[in-house]
Amino acid sequence: MITGLSHSSVYVLDQDSAKAFYTEKLGFELRQDLRLGDFRWLTVGPPGQPGLDFILMKPGPPQHDAETEKQIRELVAKGALGGGVWQTRDCREAHAELSARGVTFLQEPAERPYGVEAVFRDDSGNWFSLTQRHEFDPGKDWA
């Protein structure tokens, strides 16, 4: 049976640039950077979460033919792909720190029914939610 998620992928346009973005700007740890023939296995992860690696995947062979690679690159570059939600204890503080490091935000921190959320892009164009979750209150009317 499945016991958990250990790796998740995000397509990046340039693995060296993505490695610098995720480690230097977001503060992630470099987990693995291996060459397997022409394939590069590059993973990073947030400090304090050693059980989850984020694969910075370059579209192309052996997974994709030339046309599919082109389509994925176009979708990534125009910001059509979202990579998920990154959790933080203080969204406004994290926003200020990441902005100072040069991270581009598409949305400033704002109150949402589920918490405080900001949205940023990585250096390839993928967007992510940065969210500080509220405690769930089933009796609260969020409408």
Strand locations in the chain (E): 7-11, 29-36, 39-45, 53-57, 82-87, 104-112, 115-121, 127-133
Distances (CA, A) of 134 to 86, 87, 97, 98, 126: 14, 11, 21, 21, 25
Beta carbons of 94 and 115 less than 8 angstroms apart? no
Q: Tell me the whole-structure pTM to 2 decimals.
A: 0.89
Beta carbons of 107 and 121 less than 8 angstroms apart? no
d(CA 6, CA 37): 23
Beta carbons of 92 and 75 less than 8 angstroms apart? no
pLDDT for res 102: 97
pLDDT for res 141: 54
d(CA 137, CA 83): 27
**Cβ-Cβ contacts under 8 Å for 107 (sequence gap 6 or more):** 117, 118, 119
pLDDT for res 135: 75
Average pLDDT along the chain, 143 residues, taken 10 residues at a time: 92 98 97 93 94 94 91 94 91 98 97 96 96 72 49
CA atoms within 13 A on the CB side of 58: 18
pLDDT for res 142: 47
pLDDT digits (tens, 9 = 90+) for 56-90: 999 988 888 999 999 999 999 999 988 799 999 99
Domain ranges of the chain: 7-133
pLDDT for res 97: 97
Q: What top-level class would CATH report for the domain 7-133?
A: alpha beta
Buried b (16+ CB within 10 A) or exposed e, 42-78: bbbbbeeeeeebbbbbbbbeeebeeeebeebbeebee
